[in-house]
Amino acid sequence: MQLIQLLIDGIASGCIYGLVALGFVLIYKATETINFAQGDILMLGAFVAYSLIGILGMDYLTGFALTVLIIAVFGFFLDAVVVRQIIGQPAFATVMLTIGLGFIFRGFASIYWGTDIFSFSTPFSGKITEFNGLIISYVNLSIIIGTAVLMSALYFFFTFSKIGVAMRASSENQLAAYYMGIPVKFIFSLIWSISAGVAAVAGVLLAPITLVDTSISLIGLKAFAAAVLGGFGSIPGAIVGGIIIGIVEQLCGTYENYLFEGVREISAYLVLILTLIIYPRGLFSDKAEVKKV
């Protein structure tokens, strides 16, 4: 029973990793750049939600939707104004640029909102349900359901909508997509905006658990483990990888005595390194195999 309880907690935190990893994957698939600021965008999402719901006193759902919208627009212009300028530069430049952006966001958040720890009330806070002796908190439930809804929405978007298909085409082959009349630049910015929006969703869902402060941006680094485990470039892989990381972290935390002290904090990074050494393709990778020397 304890094991199942652990699994549920693991899945819930894993969904957050998965959502952040999803943001990496979307951007990587399309533009072959990695956004090291994904975790910081998540943090901005949580802070904006705090402003709207906690300070302005908006209704939870309205505030949620508005937050996602604001961050998505922000992501759009982030690409259109800043990131697009370094297209074609070596990967190193993108890495440094997005790390720098992450620092700016974090600095901005701590200047604008302060370094205290904030929280805002949600309909789920503090409520739990019991099911066959399992204790499931509404917060965890909201995360799992939210992820599932978002995933299916994205699935339908990429499969059936015209823009979604255009996005897949641009990721597949930029030049061919451009010849077909797809506005590739606009599509890329749109992908950044979806990715930022997903991060905002993760941030708002996460807020009741970790509360809102600048340190939650570190989740972005753990989410790398999820993305790599799932095979960078696969959308279902990101979510599955995230869930695995979440479960591993919970298990390591509980059985710390049998392993070594402090294993929980670095378990995600250990999984990341092991994956890269043993099976760098990841679980769900499509044809894009990791180039090996």
Partner 1 sequence: MRFIFKTKYSQDINIAKHNGDRFWYSLLILIMVALPLVLDDFYLGEISYICILSIAGIGLMILSGYTGLASLGHAAFLGVGAYTHAFLLTNGIPFYASIPIVIIVSFLVGAAIGIPILRLTGMYLAIATLALGFIAEHVFIKWEHFTGGNRGLPVPQPEFLGMSFYDSVFFYYVCLVFLIAAMFAAINILRSPTGRAFVAIRDSEIAAQSLGVNLGLYKALSFAISGAFTGLAGALLAHYIGYLAPDIFNIFLSLTLLLLIVVGGMGSLHGTVFGAIFVGFLPQLIAICRDYLPSSIGSQPGLEPMLFGLILVFFILYEPLGIYGRWMKIKLFFELFPTYKRQTFKKQKVFTKSDRV
Q: Which residues bind partner 1 (CB under 8 A)?
A: 28, 31-32, 34, 82, 85-93, 95-97, 99-111, 115, 174, 214, 221, 224-225, 228, 232, 260-262, 265-266, 269-270, 272-273, 276-277, 280, 288, 290-293
Q: How far apart are CA 166 and CA 160, in angstroms?
A: 10
The count of residues in the chain is 293
The token duo for 200 is 């905002």
Least Å from the CB of residue 157 to partner 1: 24
Closer to partner 1 by Cβ: residue 65 or 276: 276
Question: Is the distance from CB of 99 to CB of 239 less than 8 angstroms?
Answer: no
Closer to partner 1 by Cβ: residue 158 or 264: 264
Least Å from the CB of residue 68 to partner 1: 24
Closer to partner 1 by Cβ: residue 89 or 159: 89
Least Å from the CB of residue 293 to partner 1: 4
Closer to partner 1 by Cβ: residue 65 or 290: 290
Least Å from the CB of residue 65 to partner 1: 28
Question: Is the distance from CB of 226 to CB of 247 less than 8 angstroms?
Answer: no
Closer to partner 1 by Cβ: residue 97 or 194: 97
First to last CA, the chain: 46
DSSP 112-145: HT-SS-B----TTTT-EEEETTEEEEHHHHHHHH
Which residue in 239, 219, 231 sits closest to 43, CA to CA?
219
Least Å from the CB of residue 277 to partner 1: 5
